[in-house]
Every structure is written in structure tokens, then in C-alpha cells.
A and B are shown apart, each in its own frame.
Chain A
């Protein structure tokens, strides 16, 4: 199973774009890259998922280079409410008995 490495914490200010990079050097061919967001005292919430190149939805963008050994979650113009822990997950859930494998995540703090 691919191990992920991401920064433990990041600080930003309201209105800025935030990019959180995740390294996953031993990603397998069938693995997808998924990002979850977790607010204090709540369960994680799915943000975005991708396999390669770029994926964009109403919340974020996910950039994946051709070698797929890293990925970057981009949050445009963050607000105070984006303060949360962001988890990068890599795997083929259909081959993992439904198991999502979470690392320690990146604690994002957005300041006014």
C-alpha cells in the first residue's frame, strides 16, 4: 500500500490560495488519489479524487503530475471556515476490503 507524506501543518490568510502537496512515491498503477477534510469533532468529508492530470470541482482542484508520485490539493481563496485537517489518501479501495488508509494529515490554519 502506498505511503503518503504531507506537511504536518500550514498557515494561511483569508483570501489566499493554499496548495498542500502530498508525496506518494510508491503509488501503484490501480491507485487513486483522494483528499478528505476534517473539522474538529466531526467525521472526515470527501473533497476530491483523481487518477492523473487535473481534476476540479466546486471546492478544490487536484493536480497530479505525469509520474503520479505526488499530488497537490489547491484551495482557492480560503476563508476562516477552511481551517481543518486535510488528509491525502492513496489506494485502490476496491482491492483493500473497503479500507481507507489515513495518515496524520495537514492541519491548515487560516487567519484573518
Chain B
């Protein structure tokens, strides 16, 4: 069965530092991949998605992710963290031909001044 692993349930960075949130998927066929963000007491918002058009995907709020088939990874990065980036981030996958989105367990990002 398709699965998603997010390494690190909690990541802490200083304002201005690089953000790196890790996501690995299990699939022999490249799936469709997504990153979502959830701010406190809110629903999930789409940050970016991988559509196979390009391996480096740019999203909202300065985030980007790189699809690496050889590593089955889709890590999320941002060059310079901002206090407003503090939230929970979820990596998700839809298997090719699948109907449901499978989520990782999430990574909480804390940003300190």
C-alpha cells in the first residue's frame, strides 16, 4: 500500500534560517505529491503539488519542493524562515490512478526570533 513518511514530528528554526521538512513516499510508480499547511484551528491549505511537469516545484509563501525519484523523496524547503511560517505541514500522496489522498503524520514547524 502507498505510504508517506515525514521524518521529524517537530522542527525548530530561527527566523531567517533555512527550512527543510522531509517527506519520503513508497511507490514503484511516481505518484502525485502534495504539501499542505495547517495553521492553528484552521483547515488545510495547499502549498504546492508535483505534477510531473518539473522536478522543482514552487509554491506559495516562498516554499518549494524537489521531486527525486531515485530517493523517493519530496522534501519541502524555504531559504529564509519567517515567524508566520510556524504551522503544521503535511506531505500527501495520491497513487497513480488512485482516488484518495494519503497523508503523512505531519511536521510541526516552530520559528523563533
Partners in one complex: no
Which chain B residues have a beta carbon within 8 Å of chain A's beta carbons?
none
